[in-house]
Amino acid sequence: MFVRLVYESFRRQKRRKVLAGAAITLGVTVATAMIAVATDIGDKINRELRTIGANLVVTPQEDSLDVEIGGVNLKPPTDGAFLSEADLPKIKGIFWHNNIVGFAPILPVSAAIPHEGKPQDVTLTGTYFAKKVSYGNEEFVTGAKTLYPWWKVSGAWPDDNSRDVLIGERLAAKLNQKPGNTITISGRQCRIDGILSTGGAEDDEVIAPLSLAQEILGKPDAVKRVYVSALTKPEDAFARRDPKSLSGAIYDRWYCTPYPQAIALQLTEAMSHSHAEQIRQVAQNEGAVLTRIEGLIFLITLAALFASGLAVSAAMATAIFERRAEVGLMKALGAGKLAVASVFFAEAALMALIGGAVGFGIGSALAHQIGHSIFNSQISISPVLLPVILAIAVIVTFAGSAMAIRRAVSLDPVFALRGEL
């Protein structure tokens, strides 16, 4: 009897039902799209932010040890502390190796280039351009092309196994050089493959394969520092805790979370005589951007659901007002407040489930479109999201209908049947 009563009630006032259902569908559509994007946005935004460069730097351990007595720094002014190039593949052997987007070793050396009959002192920076590196059974390509996609090269990128170089645009203009020219660097014949423009210090330098810088320095296998680009989780209060003060499961949780500090610690452990730390201004700016975007998504979702609830409330209030005689008749026949309310809540729940299912389908398509247009990749929709969205639709519909249903169960049947309310 109850099911038939709800069914007959749901069939009536189709225009009101369509309006309320459309409001639910629109609200759920926005909520589905925003929740789907929010749950999948972290890695995608991190990958987009990785195009601005490295967020971790590895230096020789000796460079991080300062010895001061009486305010005087007794650290010897030497360039003798170096990392080992042979340790670089170990970067892909850490726990969070899949989060390592790329890395580039750096070895700056002083070099001389003949200019107008006399040597011109320049800085030659050795690095990887697109070096194929192996660790275990895994092969990957890394270097400046991966780490600094915003570098603008007029010409071609040099091969890592050659003596070809890039020359900064300001230095090239000063020396009157262009791609294809041969240049003598510290007595070595090198070919200029391209002119580099970064807007930074590199515009006044020569960027060369790491092996050439090691040869000029006379130190094979030497690396001064390594810049690493890694996908990380923004800092929170737990991330800022000193790992030395943690133990047991708490330390394991910290260590196994991709915080910048945790990945830096793993890099320090992987490379001998090294010290890794986050480039704080980069990591903190990324965390702030991600937090603000997630906050904006939350506000959009909340606003859409609030607007949907208001529309449902208006539609239900009008529908119940038009059915006041029916409510009065039910109460006159002995129906209690709970029985009257259950009919309307069941009707609202049915409407919420239908609108929620339709909104979930449209919202999923919208999320895929957002992923394709903004991130150029697919947004994954978890099946677990469907019951969550349906529950949200029911809650919003009940919240919007509660006031109107409360007024319905409070109607006096005598006045309701007379049409005086």
- Sorted by sequence, the CB contacts under 8 Å of residue 11 that are 6+ apart come out as none
- Which pairing describes strands 100-115 and 83-84: parallel, antiparallel, or unpaired? unpaired
- Sorted by sequence, the CB contacts under 8 Å of residue 235 that are 6+ apart come out as 259, 260, 261, 283, 284, 287
| SS3 state of residue 164 | coil
Query: At 83, is the pLDDT very low, low, confident or very high (cuts 50, 70, 90)?
Result: very high
What pLDDT score does 16 carry? 65
What pLDDT score does 169 carry? 94
Alpha-carbon torsion angle 284, 287, 292, 294, nearest 10: 180
Rg for the chain (alpha carbons), in Å?
A: 33
Q: Which of 71-80, 165-174, 223-232, 406-415 has the lowest mean pLDDT?
A: 71-80
What pLDDT score does 332 carry? 62
What pLDDT score does 318 carry? 73
Q: How far is CA 149 from CA 54, 197, 283, in A?
A: 11, 12, 18
What pLDDT score does 4 carry? 57
First to last CA, the chain: 28
Q: What is the mean pLDDT of residues 27-38?
A: 86
Give CA angle at 268 (249, 140), nearest 5°.
105
What pLDDT score does 410 carry? 65
pLDDT tens-digit map of 309-363: 888 888 777 766 666 666 665 666 566 666 666 777 777 888 888 899 999 999 9
- Domain regions of the chain by residue span: 2-47+287-418, 55-66+76-278
Structure tokens that stand for 155 in this block: 């010409």
Q: Which of 33-42, 162-171, 336-345 has the lowest mean pLDDT?
A: 336-345
The residue among 331 and 62 whose pLDDT is bigger is: 62
